[in-house]
Structure 1
Amino acid sequence: MTEQTDVRAGRLLVATPELRDPNFVDTVVLLIEVNDDGALGVVLNRPSPVPVAEVLHPWAGSVADPDVLFQGGPVSKDAAIAVALLVDADDPPLGFRPVVGRLGLLDLDTPVELVDGTLSRLRIFAGYAGWGAAQLQGEVDEGSWYVVDSEPYDSFLDEVGSMWAAVLRRQPGELAFHATRPPDPGLN
């Protein structure tokens, strides 16, 4: 098990009840890049009402359900980031950049026919979440985020509305209890 403050690519950030920023309340964020300059991730549990077919038609038949664009975060909302899960980690298609294991990013300029049969799952995000150098670690240290290991299919869960609780429920120890915590424990 990895320490719950170890911020690195491939891990999940799960918003704590103390996090009040409306961009991140009850979110689960997949970290896709972490380096000395900062961190970048996508919010996994904010589907938009916009079907992928309306914006990126060639990819409409390749995305996991629900087949809509997801709101990846408040930065560059007009940019698209594709998160993909490979069928075989030893056979990545052109345009694939690994993040961890079979999970990575796919360049949407890659012709769809070149990735056909190589992807197990694909999801497309409009925008991303970004943090400057040491900013994210500061937010973790102040208690805004739980940092947990990801599972390969976390980025593609069908029931995105219950993702926050589902990720917490599978955690060891006291962290799992937070999955059933009411929004305002003081009202109990």
Structure 2
Amino acid sequence: MTATFPSLAGHFLIAMPLMSDPHFAESVVYILTHDEQGALGIIINRPSGLTLADVLEQLQPEHATLSDSDDQDVFLGGPVQSELGFVLHNIGPQFQGTMNFGSLSLTSSQDALAAIAQGQGPQQNLIALGHAGWGAGQLEEELRDNAWLSCPADPNVIFSTPIEQRRSAAAALLGVDLERLSHQVGHA
């Protein structure tokens, strides 16, 4: 008999210490959608080393001077479609390609980046290259294998917590100290 998992949309996935996939080791993923067809999320704690200014210089070299947000980090959102940019942001601002997912929105169009660069974008935002994706049943299998912890997401962890503290802050939502987790995995 196969266990049925409830939707994890609006949840964090927190990589367990033994996560071997280098794309996800020590990551926190915000899950946007999860159903019988699969799941889609954005890694929220893996800076790419690029800034918004770097990205816009590549996309729109004619607009070289921007606002104070020039130095905003751009994240590695996941290994899927890593050539595409995504903006995870608070509900409200609408751009071309904005889709609402519960309490947050995801935009995949350049007009959102330009608005952020001009200081007119969403107050809370995370810019990412690529996303995380799982096919039908794949995430459920990883959960059965104890690869992830999951908990309801808190936007403050995404938008207000320093990058290096996001994983421990997400785990703390469950009352878990990742430093004290056993590296042994088992099933009852």
- Structure 1 and Structure 2 fold alike (TM over 0.5): yes
Cα pair distance change 1:120/1:18, threshold 3 Å: same
Report the count of equivalent residues. 171
Cα pair distance change 1:113/1:69, threshold 3 Å: closer
The correspondence for 1:77, drawn from 63, 82, 87, is: 82
Determine if contact 2:7/2:35 at 8 Å carries over to the other structure.
Answer: no
Q: Give deviations 1:29-74, integer Å, cap 9, x for gaps.
A: 01112232211111110012111111125896486x9712101111
Deviation larger for 51-60 or 151-160: 51-60
Determine if contact 1:29/1:43 at 8 Å carries over to the other structure.
Answer: yes
Taking the aligned partners of 1:157 and 1:73, their CA distance within structure 2 comes to 21
* Aligned-partner residue type, residue 56 of structure 2: L
Taking the aligned partners of 2:68 and 2:85, their CA distance within structure 1 comes to 15
TM-score, normalized by length of structure 2? Answer: 0.77
Determine if contact 2:151/2:173 at 8 Å carries over to the other structure.
Answer: no
User: Unpaired runs of 5+ in structure 2?
Assistant: none
Using the aligned pairs only, state the percent identity. Answer: 26
Cα pair distance change 1:162/1:76, threshold 3 Å: same
Q: Give deviations 1:78-121, integer Å, cap 9, x for gaps.
A: 111110113xx5xx4243321112x1112323364599757221
TM-score, normalized by length of structure 1? Answer: 0.77
Deviation at 1:179, TM superposition (A): 2.8
User: Unpaired runs of 5+ in structure 1?
Assistant: none
Determine if contact 1:6/1:147 at 8 Å carries over to the other structure.
Answer: no
Aligned-pair Cα RMSD in Å: 2.9
Deviation larger for 144-153 or 110-119: 110-119
Q: Give deviations 1:116-170, integer Å, cap 9, x for gaps.
A: 7572211111111111101001101111111110112222244111211111113
Structure 1's consecutive aligned runs of 4 or more residues displaced over 6 angstroms after TM superposition are none
